[in-house]
Amino acid sequence: MTTHAYGWIGLGNMGEPMAANLAQAGFDVLAFDAAGTEARLPEGAQAARSSADVARGADTVFLSLPDGRVSLAVIAEMMATNDRRAGTVIDLSTIGTQAARDAADACAAGDAVFIDCPVSGGQVGARAATIATMWGGSADLLEIHRPALAAISKNIFHVGDEPGMGQTVKLLNNFLSATTMAATSEAVHFGLSQGLDMQTILDVVNVSSGRSYGSMDKFPRHVVPETWDSFFDMALMAKDLTLFEESLNAAGTHNRIGQLIADVWRQAHGVLPDADHTEIYRAIGGETGTTKRSG
């Protein structure tokens, strides 16, 4: 009996800890990262020399990449690989609804299956294997790969049968997260201007109706101590919100708030281009320039 081999392409802030959890759970993992595989390779995984090598050596390939352009380029390389072994591509990246559909078409043309499966929970969740995964694809195929997903995710959701459905849930989730983070930042700055203490504001809000994940987790962990180390960049949040805005426009649904929030984050990225996303607090407060993140 042949062991099912998993490939992993993308060993960044999210990809490396997820791949590490998969390898530590006893799965065969063949990994590659264009920025340097050996330096990022998790213990227990094997190094590949390219995405094509991963496609030759693995039955199923996980992707954890920055955006849709990169995912589509990697998929094109894998589909064009001679003696390719990989028949399933599971993309954990946030690439947008249309890119997921394009990726599914590209895989189908190569006689492979594409699964749209973005994740949420941040680097802390990725390391603790507590992230949420949003599977957009065959329910039967999900059951086949559920043991592997369970090694990296505590909350596994089958959100629909079609590629793009996972992206839809992920984008609306990030929109809600971005909205509460920006709104909390604006509210706290207002409170400070009236002589209140930040911790007092948070103490009251977090036992009241205005509480959110931003006020309960991100502010205490990253804003109050000024560590700015959530390992999710402002650029990525601005990118995700632009994808959400584009999806709203394509769907023809209400987009007044979506456009407003996307503009807020794009402007914040413009004044703090290298910042952690929790530094939206600094941008709303009028700060500009170099990031202050610790480390």
| 34 within domain boundaries | yes
| 294 within domain boundaries | no
pLDDT tens, residue by residue, 50-83: 999 999 999 999 999 999 999 999 999 999 999 9
Indicate whether 148 and 54 sit together in one domain. Answer: yes
Indicate whether 126 and 186 sit together in one domain. Answer: no
The yes-or-no answer on residue 170 being catalytic is: yes
Tokens of 175: 């929109």
The residues that bridge with 115 in the sheet, in sequence order, are 90
Distance CA 100, CA 115 (A): 8
Indicate whether 182 and 237 sit together in one domain. Answer: yes
Among 154, 170, 218, 292, the active-site one is: 170
Indicate whether 144 and 172 sit together in one domain. Answer: no
What's the rounded mean pLDDT across residues 127-132? 98
**Residue whose structure tokens are 């496609």:** 55
Final residue of a domain: which of 110, 137, 161? 161
| 18 within domain boundaries | yes
CATH code assigned at 192 = 1.10.1040.10
Indicate whether 182 and 94 sit together in one domain. Answer: no
pLDDT tens, residue by residue, 237-294: 999 999 999 999 999 999 999 999 999 999 999 999 999 999 999 999 999 877 666 5
Indicate whether 82 and 48 sit together in one domain. Answer: yes
Indicate whether 154 and 12 sit together in one domain. Answer: yes
The count of structural domains within the chain is 2
pLDDT tens, residue by residue, 234-248: 999 999 999 999 999
Final residue of a domain: which of 129, 161, 193? 161
pTM of the full structure: 0.93
Of the chain, the percentage scoring pLDDT greater than 70 comes to: 98
Range of the domain at 106: 5-161
Indicate whether 134 and 190 sit together in one domain. Answer: no
Indicate whether 199 and 221 sit together in one domain. Answer: yes
| 187 within domain boundaries | yes
Indicate whether 20 and 101 sit together in one domain. Answer: yes
| 295 within domain boundaries | no
Indicate whether 130 and 12 sit together in one domain. Answer: yes
| 127 within domain boundaries | yes
So what's the pLDDT on residue 289?
A: 77
Final residue of a domain: which of 141, 161, 181? 161
Indicate whether 155 and 237 sit together in one domain. Answer: no
**Residue whose structure tokens are 């609804």:** 97
| 184 within domain boundaries | yes
